[in-house]
Structures are given as C-alpha cells and as structure tokens.
C-alpha cells in the first residue's frame, strides 16, 4: 500500500484572484477559435482552430505575451492554430450530444459500467444536482476510494490536459526538484498547434521545480516536452505512461501524447483520471505543485546578465478564482484541461473537516463560462452534504501491486492499452435516472476477483490517507 507523507499540504485553498484571463480560452472563445481571452487582461495570441492539426513547433525562442496590466501575471505563449488548452471554453452551439456506450468497463463495480447516473440514497440524503451536464462525472472519497455517485464514469473520452496528472505521476519521482537542465532547441519540437506554453526558451537553464510549476499552473506543453526530453524523449515517456496506467488498473486510458493534446485514439475516463489524481496525491511534491495558486517563473536574461522572472497563475479556477467564480472552500488541486475535441475536463480534490473528496467532470454540454468548475463545485457541495447518507455504488480500485489485475474476473468493455481504444459513444443507450432504489448489488474487488454479495456492498477498504489540512489560503510562491 502506498504510504502517506507526513507533510501536511492538503490544505483548503481560498485563493484571492486577480480579475484576469491569463490562460487561453478562460473566457468564452469566439466560434471557430481555439480560445479567446475573457477577462480584463489581454490574452495570448491564438489563431484559427484546427482540431487535429499537428505541426512542428518553429525553432527558436518563443516571445511571451504582453504583461498583464497589474504586472502580476504573464499570459503563456500560444502556438498559432489548433486546439489551445484553456481553463474554460464555449462558443457556438455544439451538435447533439452523443449517447454513452451501452457496454463500458465495470472495474470498481457493476454499476459503474451502466450508462446514466448511479447513486444509492439513504434516508435524508440530498438528491444529486439536476443541472450537471457533463457527459461523464464521478464523486469519490479520496482516501477510502468509495464512489458516492457517478454518471458514465468509464466512458472513454479525450482527456485534454488532465492527462498531465498521469504524466506527473509517472515522471515526477525521477528527478530531484533542484536538478537543473539546459533546454535544447530539439526539446521544444513536436508540440501540437495551439498548445498552451508557460514560456520556456531554448538555451536557458531551468530547475526541475520550475518546470513542474509550469506543468501544473500553466498547463505548459513546453514544460512537459522539456521534462519528457530529460526522461529519454516523448516516445519513451508515452511508453512509461502506458505502463503506469496499466499498473494503476486504469483500463480506459490509451496514451498517445504526454501532454494530453488531442490525438487519434487518445482517451481516458472520469474514473481513470480519478485514479491518476489519487495516486499522484500520495507524492508530497505533486501535492505542492497542484495546490499552488501563484508563482514566479524564470524569464529571459536582461542586458545586465540578470535572469528575470514573471508571475504565473494556476488555471484551475476553483483554486485561483475568476471574476464570476470564487475559489472553492477547501480546494487543494488537482488539474484542468481543454481542447476543442475534449471540451473542458477537470479533476479536483477538496477537504471539509476530515472528509476529502475527488470530483472529475468531463465535457459539460452547457456552454457557459467556467461551467466545468461550477458543475464540479455543485458536485462537491452534494458530496460533502451526502456524507454518510449514501451507499457507495463502486470504488476506486488500487494498483495491481495491491489488488492484481482488476479486469481478471471478466469486467467487460475495458479498453486502454491492453485492448482496442474505445470510440467514445458509438453505441446508443438510454440514460438512467437516479437509481437510488432498485436491486443492484455493489461490486467489491478482493485480490483481483469480483465478488457479488446479495444487496450488500463488499468493499476492500484500501485507504490512502492524505495529509490533514493545516491552514486556509492558496499556496503562493515567491
């Protein structure tokens, strides 16, 4: 079992925010655009959207976008065209929503593979919020892994930048945070058009610590590619990420790019993203980076030979806030993402009292500013108020080192890298309503075997304790 660090860094984060749109697409993009600025501060340059465009990044340094009026934040550089990562999206009314597959993985419980909302309410339990439009979502206990409620959690969908959680869980333990690396021109090649960048420049030296801040705060694909270069290259890193997903029993995930940029066949699920977050949060450095609201990032060298720096802000709006959205009480990470293909994706962890919940939402249908964050906040509100008033409908399984292969007992519908990737909704199926009654049995996994026990849920409670909260206020770094 993974041991808990004694560093108490899962603290509630009540970040004050600057009214800015420092991340591409944090507002409502124009129809047909990759992302547009929506706040008081001018956003980075974007070009026309090109959903699956894959063009080599031009060589040479990248100019950082204009400084924010407050001089506290510097928007990231954005490669022209393509599907920019963003904190939130919008735009033209999209096509009719696809139906989830009729057959999905049942890893973690039989009900988790059934289309529609799955919840088992006890007396006095609040109903699941009705306004949740995400194609897929899940609310789970971050420590016990019990799933309180979910909708299509195993639906294989494009993950966007939330896949960076798997990248971090795979690569972060390999390099000391104070290790330095000089960026080569080749390190910044191969990024997808429209990628968001923290502003890394070739032939300059960066500490590993700074690179991870660039990954988590700015979702910088340039930081991802630099760390991947340190790790033996993109191809080697993708191979390791696939193996790590397999080790975590994340059977819905097929990795093609280390940064989550749209690519044919690249999928994950709300369930798997929750597994990645839960595993990553066992690492103290992971917790630090995903909980950091603001930081200074190394810039260019001025004419006097002094290395300059600029401010960056976390694009997770439940952590950093926005003009129409307050930081969520008790928030402590984890990662957000956006591409035109994936829509908005988000995995977040928060703590109220002794309870720590994970919420993942993928691709809300409602096209409003910060909608993914608002839906996640509503699910948090429900989850904390429903504590002790619902029967779990499943659980987040442990890694193979603890529980063996979670698919071994015949969980059908599993995709991932041991099977053909799912097509994300080709099969039509009616959506289930809140199924709080019924004769469902919950599934428990013990040593990799599926056991059904009448109407009683049998769970192997492999808790992964997380550090207690010690103070309020978002983490800021100098």
Give the active site residues: 161, 164, 219
Count of Cβ atoms closer than 10 Å to residue 7 Cβ: 12
User: What are 202-208's contacts with CB under 8 Å, separation 24+?
Assistant: 202/59, 202/60, 202/61, 204/298, 204/300, 204/301, 205/180, 205/181, 206/180, 206/181, 206/298, 207/177, 207/178, 207/179, 207/180, 207/181, 207/298, 208/175, 208/176, 208/177, 208/178, 208/179, 208/180, 208/181
DSSP 363: E
Phi, psi (rounded to 5 degrees) for 227: -65, -35
What ranges make up the beta strands (E) of 314-375?
331-339, 343-352, 355-364
Helix axes 164-171, 234-247, angle to 10 degrees: 90
Q: Which two tokens stand for residue 312?
A: 């960056």
Which whole-number Å values give the CA distances from 382 to 100, 140, 152, 241, 442, in the listed order? 24, 11, 18, 33, 21
DSSP 33: B
Count of Cβ atoms closer than 10 Å to residue 323 Cβ: 16
Cα–Cα distance, 399 to 397 (Å, whole number) = 7
The alpha carbon dihedral of 174, 178, 184, 187 has a sign of positive
Cα–Cα distance, 362 to 416 (Å, whole number) = 18
Cα–Cα distance, 106 to 445 (Å, whole number) = 11
Q: What is the DSSP string of 124-167?
A: TPPPPPTT--EEEEEEEETTT-EEEEEESTT--B--GGGGHHHH
Instruction: Find out whether 246 and 343 touch, Cβ atoms under 8 Å.
Output: no
Cα–Cα distance, 163 to 255 (Å, whole number) = 8
In three-state secondary structure terms, 358 is strand
What is the Rg, in whole angstroms, of the alpha carbon atoms belonging to the chain? 21
């Amino acid at each position: 079992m993974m041991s808990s660090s004694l560093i108490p860094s899962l603290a509630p984060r009540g970040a004050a925010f600057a009214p800015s749109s420092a991340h591409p697409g944090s507002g409502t993009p124009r129809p047909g655009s990759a992302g547009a600025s929506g706040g008081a501060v001018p956003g980075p340059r974007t070009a026309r959207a090109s959903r699956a465009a894959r063009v080599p990044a031009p060589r040479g340094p990248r100019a950082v976008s204009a400084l924010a009026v407050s001089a506290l934040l510097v928007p990231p550089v954005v490669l022209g065209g393509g599907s920019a990562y963003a904190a939130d999206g919008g735009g033209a009314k999209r096509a009719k929503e696809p139906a989830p597959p009729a057959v999905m993985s049942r890893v973690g419980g039989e009900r988790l593979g059934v289309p529609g909302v799955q919840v088992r309410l006890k007396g006095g339990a609040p109903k699941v919020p009705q306004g949740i439009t995400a194609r897929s979502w899940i609310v789970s206990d971050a420590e016990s892994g019990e799933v309180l409620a979910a909708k299509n959690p195993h639906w294989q969908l494009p993950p966007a930048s939330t896949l960076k959680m798997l990248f971090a869980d795979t690569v972060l333990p390999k390099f000391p945070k104070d290790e330095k690396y000089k960026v080569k021109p080749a390190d910044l090649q191969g990024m997808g058009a429209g990628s968001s960048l923290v502003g890394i420049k070739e032939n300059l030296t960066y500490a590993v610590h700074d690179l991870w801040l660039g990954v988590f705060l700015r979702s910088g694909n340039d930081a991802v590619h630099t760390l991947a270069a340190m790790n033996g290259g993109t191809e080697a890193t993708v191979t390791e990420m696939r193996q790590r997903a397999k080790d975590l029993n994340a059977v819905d995930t097929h990795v093609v790019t280390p940064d989550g940029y749209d690519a044919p066949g690249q999928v994950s699920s709300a369930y798997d993203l929750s597994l990645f977050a839960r595993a990553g949060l066992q690492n103290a450095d992971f917790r630090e980076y995903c909980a950091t609201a603001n930081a200074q990032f190394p810039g260019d060298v001025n004419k006097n030979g002094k290395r300059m720096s600029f401010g960056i802000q976390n694009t997770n709006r439940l952590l950093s806030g926005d003009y129409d959205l307050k930081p969520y009480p008790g928030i402590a990470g984890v990662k957000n993402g956006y591409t035109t293909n994936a829509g908005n994706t988000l995995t977040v962890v928060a703590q109220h009292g002794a309870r720590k919940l994970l919420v993942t939402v993928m691709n809300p249908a409602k096209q409003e500013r910060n909608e993914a964050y608002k839906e996640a906040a509503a699910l948090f509100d429900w989850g904390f108020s429903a504590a002790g008033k619902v029967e779990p409908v499943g659980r987040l399984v442990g890694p193979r080192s603890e529980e063996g292969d979670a698919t071994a007992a015949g969980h059908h519908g599993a995709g991932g890298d041991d099977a053909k990737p799912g097509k994300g909704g080709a099969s039509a199926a009616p959506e289930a309503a809140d199924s709080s009654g019924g004769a469902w049995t919950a599934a428990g996994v013990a040593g990799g075997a599926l056991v059904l026990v009448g109407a009683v849920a049998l769970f192997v409670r492999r808790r992964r304790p997380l550090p207690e909260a010690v103070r309020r206020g978002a983490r800021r770094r100098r």
